[in-house]
Homo-oligomer: A and B are copies of this chain.
């Protein structure tokens, strides 16, 4: 298999924390350059913009877009129109409509488009999905609570509307739930708590249902003292399946079925390589659609101002 040449768009925290280590060990990709007006890596050419990077490196086959959400559509468009394959960090866009447009664009130009929900690549997610496929589900509880001051220090953008507040981690839970539950589900009731000096919620209580009426309740909260709780519990006739630590550990009735090291980004890049080689796209809008549905139909309550 030939190695795929890659450029990174954006060279911020998520790139340094996750993309670079994953790419350093990848046998599928060779990272050639970055495009970021404010940051560059010491080890390779850096460009101020995606267009400059693509002009300087016509050999680039793929780009991973890791910029703030509102910039992703226009950058993905540039790359797709020039025949490149594109990985979009989560969430894949600031609006559902712009991502729908990118899907069409990818089809027209033949490039791979990959909406990369990294939490779906946690080690126990595939096993949870396979185990649940055969089981009768009675109730699902999603608890996704963390201390915003610990996990998002100084990230003022998270309190703007596009920052999505507690939905920034919460959408990871939704990306797992939509992957492991055998049936589609949809929102029945939503309540959001918005700090009086912010635009985005600090907490959300969501109640979903699937076509069989199974209750699926989600509790997202940014005010959780450490340690964080990133759990999904599924009550079934065959026992209570618990996906813990963001998908690293799987328990059945408290007994450990799997406990593994977090390797989301290496797995995510392996999937991107597979999609490129098969000339396919993978864009599941369900997690972002659930967040949009919550914003569309939630009751909003003001709560005390957030001061970091």
Residues in chain A within 8 A of chain B (CB atoms): 73, 77, 94-98, 100-101, 104-105, 161-162, 164, 184-187, 190, 199, 211, 286, 289-293, 295-300
Contacting residues, chain B, for A291 (C-beta < 8 A): 296
Q: Which residue of B lies closest to A190 (CB)?
A: B161
Contacting residues, chain B, for A297 (C-beta < 8 A): 94-95, 161-162
A113 vs chain B, min Cβ distance (A): 15
What is the oligomeric copy number?
Answer: 2
Docked-complex contact B184 and A100, CB < 8 angstroms? yes
Query: What is the bound-complex CA distance between A293 and B141, given in angstroms?
Result: 27
List 12 contacting pairs A-B, 8 Å CB cutoff, sorted by A.
A94-B297, A95-B187, A96-B96, A96-B289, A100-B184, A161-B190, A161-B296, A161-B299, A199-B300, A292-B293, A295-B295, A296-B296
**Main DSSP-derived SS at the A contact region:** helix
Q: Which residue of B lies closest to A94 (CB)?
A: B297
Query: What is the bound-complex CA distance between A97 and B208, given in angstroms?
Result: 11
10 more A-B residue pairs beyond the given contacts A97-B184, A292-B292, with a C-beta to C-beta distance below 8 A: A95-B293, A96-B293, A97-B289, A97-B290, A100-B184, A101-B186, A105-B211, A161-B190, A161-B297, A199-B299
A288 vs chain B, min Cβ distance (A): 8
Docked-complex contact A292 and B300, CB < 8 angstroms? no
Docked-complex contact B292 and A96, CB < 8 angstroms? yes
Query: What is the bound-complex CA distance between A274 and B105, given in angstroms?
Result: 31
The list of the 10 closest CB pairs from A to B, nearest first, reads A97-B186, A95-B293, A292-B292, A295-B295, A98-B186, A292-B296, A295-B296, A161-B297, A95-B187, A96-B289
Query: What is the bound-complex CA distance between A94 and B43, given in angstroms?
Result: 51
Contacting residues, chain B, for A161 (C-beta < 8 A): 190, 296-300
Q: Which residue of B lies closest to A162 (CB)?
A: B297
Docked-complex contact A293 and B101, CB < 8 angstroms? no
A115 vs chain B, min Cβ distance (A): 16
A124 vs chain B, min Cβ distance (A): 25
Query: What is the bound-complex CA distance between A297 and B293, given in angstroms?
Result: 12
Query: What is the bound-complex CA distance between A286 and B100, given in angstroms?
Result: 10
Contacting residues, chain B, for A190 (C-beta < 8 A): 161
Known: A73-B186, A186-B73. A97 touches B296 (CB 8 A): no
Contacting residues, chain B, for A199 (C-beta < 8 A): 299-300
Contacting residues, chain B, for A104 (C-beta < 8 A): 184
Docked-complex contact B185 and A97, CB < 8 angstroms? yes
- Among A101, A161, A190, A296, max chain B CB count under 10 A is at A296
